[in-house]
Amino acid sequence: MAVGVRTQDLRKVYSTAPPLGAAGLFIARADAKGGKQPKTQIPALDGLSLDILPGEIFGLLGPNGAGKSTTIGVLTTRVRPTSGQAWIGEHDVWKEQTRVKHLIGVVPQRPNLDFSLTAREILIFHAAYFGIGSKQRNERADALLARFKLTERANQMVRGFSGGMMQRLSIARAMMHDPQVLFLDEPSAGLDPQTRILLWEIIREYHQTGRTVLLTTHNMEEADTVCQRLAIIDHGHVIALGTPARLKASIPGGFLLRLRFGNQTADLLQRLQLLAGVREVRAADSTGADVYADRGGSLIPEIASLAANSGAELSDVHISEPSLENLFLHHTGRSLRD
């Protein structure tokens, strides 16, 4: 039976540098009292609650430092939350660690392969840690090496492997013990387009055997094409949740027109709001405006003439169609890549 994943009000504050893969967080300084040196407090998760259904491909989408890797860390017994709870199936991650480790497979953001072993030995020993018998682990290792196109390199030390090969082997290793829940932290970062497509295919295939998959990404295409549901997170909490289609539909109008003027007046923004099809207008710094609308290109002549009438010359226009990128921008005022 498929296994779900749940977190309730997770908080994590690092008092030292966060672990690799969770770096890039914003830093806040706590008040210094009693003449002590101010202590660096790095909040990574701020009341994160998620409910991932059994057998679903779920994506955590957010910019660097949003708390994606920390969430995976908490769910995989590697990061102890400051408060809150996490469950894999009905097992509390922090009370039943060994049981939980049986159920999960983890692909880290940065390869952590055992450099003292060959590719094949890495898979075989991994299976042995999980108590899988010798015959079965040999068969499974051969099958996964073939599936990930690593058979030719199976008996070589992994030290000389390319980044893409290491990533493939990391995923094969995570699948060796046939976990109920597969965690992938930025699985396609640094992969060439071909390998990325192979990876997506393999994730879907694995999911079809009734497994739950949780992946983090800041790649829109990946979130859109692979994930059944997404949580968009920023500063350690969920800012939007739903299927990619529903999330995109929640952007007012769908189209986003990012405009830039020579100069801009409040009056201009109000008049933009009145154009047919415009749903929302937001000032973006002193000379720009973000216009959310039902239509894209056909609005441009009207905007241009409106700008000319109010003495603000239109200097730049960028039109984007409904996308998760726009959704993120709509919620946070920032681009995912900022």
Partner 1 sequence: MNWKAFAAMLARDAHVARRNAIQLFLQTFLQPLLFVFIFGRVMVGSGYLPAAYKSLLLPGIIAISMVFTGIWAVAMPLIAEFQWTREIEDRLLAPIGVAWIAIEKVIAGMLQALVAGLIVIPLAWLVLRPGVEISIGAPWTFAGVIVLVATFSACGGLALGCSINQQHIGLMFGMVITPMIFFGCTYYPWSALKTFPILQKAVLINPLVYASEGLRATLVPQFPHLSIKVVLMALLLFDLVLLVVGLRQFEKKAVS
Site string for partner 1, 15-44 (x = CB under 8 A): ---xxx------------------------
* Closest CB 77 distance from partner 1, rounded Å: 7
Burial environment of residue 334 by CB neighbours within 10 A (0 to 12, 13 to 18, 19 or more) = exposed
Other residues' Cβ atoms within 10 Å of the Cβ of residue 23? 13
The yes or no reply on residue 76 touching partner 1 (CB under 8 A) is yes
For the CB of residue 207, give the shortest distance to partner 1 in the complex, in Å.
21
The site that binds partner 1 (CB under 8 A) totals a number of residues, namely: 34
Residue 235 interacts with partner 1 (CB under 8 A): yes or no: no
CA distance linking residue 77 with residue 72, whole number of Å: 9
Let me know the angle formed at the C-alpha of 22 by 204 and 64, rounded to the nearest 5 degrees. 75
Q: Rounded distance, CA 202 to CA 99, Å? A: 26
Task: Among 6, 102, 147, 271, indicate the residue that binds partner 1 (CB under 8 A).
Answer: 102
Q: Do residues 21 and 170 lie in contact, with contact meaning Cβ atoms separated by under 8 Å?
A: no
Q: Which one among 80, 282, 318, 337 touches partner 1, defined by CB under 8 A?
A: 80
Given 4, 5, 10, 14, the residue binding partner 1 (CB under 8 A): 14
Residue 163 found at the interface with partner 1 (CB under 8 A)? no
Whichever of 69 and 310 has its CB closer to partner 1, that residue is: 69
| Closer Cβ to partner 1, 128 or 317, answer by number | 128
Q: How far is the CB of 130 from partner 1 (least distance, A)?
A: 6
- Contact assessment for residue 12 and residue 62, using Cβ atoms and an 8 Å cutoff: no
Give the angle subtended at the CA of 191 by the CAs of 43 and 335, to the nearest 5°: 45
Please identify, among the stretches 113-121, 273-281, 292-300, 315-323, the one whose residues bind partner 1 according to the rule CB under 8 A: 113-121
DSSP calls for 305-327: HHHHHTT--EEEEEEE-S-HHHH
The verdict on 258 binding partner 1 (CB under 8 A) reads no
CB of 189 to partner 1, least distance (A): 16
**Residue with smaller CB distance to partner 1, 18 or 63:** 18
Largest CA distance in the chain: 79
Give the H/E segment covering residue 48: strand 40-52
Look at the alpha carbons of 145, 151, 154, 156 in this order and tell me if their dihedral is positive or negative.
Answer: negative
Kindly state whether residue 125 participates in binding partner 1, applying the rule CB under 8 A: yes
Of 159 and 337, CB closest to partner 1: 159
322: contact with partner 1 by CB under 8 A: no
**H or E stretch covering 56:** none
Q: How many helices (H) and strands (E) does the chain have?
A: 11, 15
Residues interacting with partner 1, by CB under 8 A? 14, 18-20, 73, 76-80, 97-99, 101-102, 104, 106, 108, 110, 112-117, 121-122, 125-126, 128-131, 173
